[in-house]
Amino acid sequence: MTQSISVFCALLLISTQNATNLSADESRAALCADKVRKFVEVMDTLLSEKPSNIHAFDYPIQKYLSVNSCNVDEVISISKGSKFFSELFEQDTEYSVVFGSKEFIASFALKKKTGNIEVPNARIRFPLPN
């Protein structure tokens, strides 16, 4: 009887830890999704307004793309909702998500295994259109 109670307690402890880990993962994924949505909104606004210089992208990149443990499919879906979504490149270990206008390109890498967003950047498109 004591052995049965010990086994039950051990199983209960394991299931509680798994639920806690799942909840933490879901929280991080939800935070990531929220930040990516905000980033997409800001990109749509910035790229519509045609900023005068590349530095207009610095703050939103720093504020919204410093996230980890994202749900990869959700980030891709949110990104595709941008009116300036340009391309999605699939590579072995990551996706490259690209937004673009005639003047600027903004992008980030999305790691397949971890859901981490890495190397976000913005650049001027060359040559500039006439």
* 9 located within any domain: no
Q: Report if residue 18 sits inside a domain.
A: no
User: What CA–CA distance (Å, rounded) separates 106 from 38?
Assistant: 14
Structure tokens at 45: 């606004």
Walk along the chain (130 residues) and give the pLDDT tens digit of each residue: 555 554 334 433 444 444 444 477 788 999 999 999 999 999 999 999 989 999 999 999 999 999 999 999 999 999 999 999 999 999 999 999 999 999 999 999 999 999 999 999 999 998 755 5
Q: Domain containing 83: what range?
A: 29-124
Q: What is the pTM of this model?
A: 0.78
Say if 91 falls within a structural domain.
yes
Domain presence at residue 14: no
Cis peptide before 127 (omega within 30 of 0): yes
- Is 129 part of any domain? no
Using alpha carbons, list the distances in angstroms from residue 89 to 7, 21, 85, 92.
48, 31, 12, 10
Tokens of 58: 């610095």
Q: Contact, 94 vs 109, CB < 8 A?
A: yes
Within the chain, how many helices (H) and strands (E) appear?
Answer: 3, 4
115 is a domain residue: yes
Number of domains in the chain: 1
In a domain? residue 100: yes
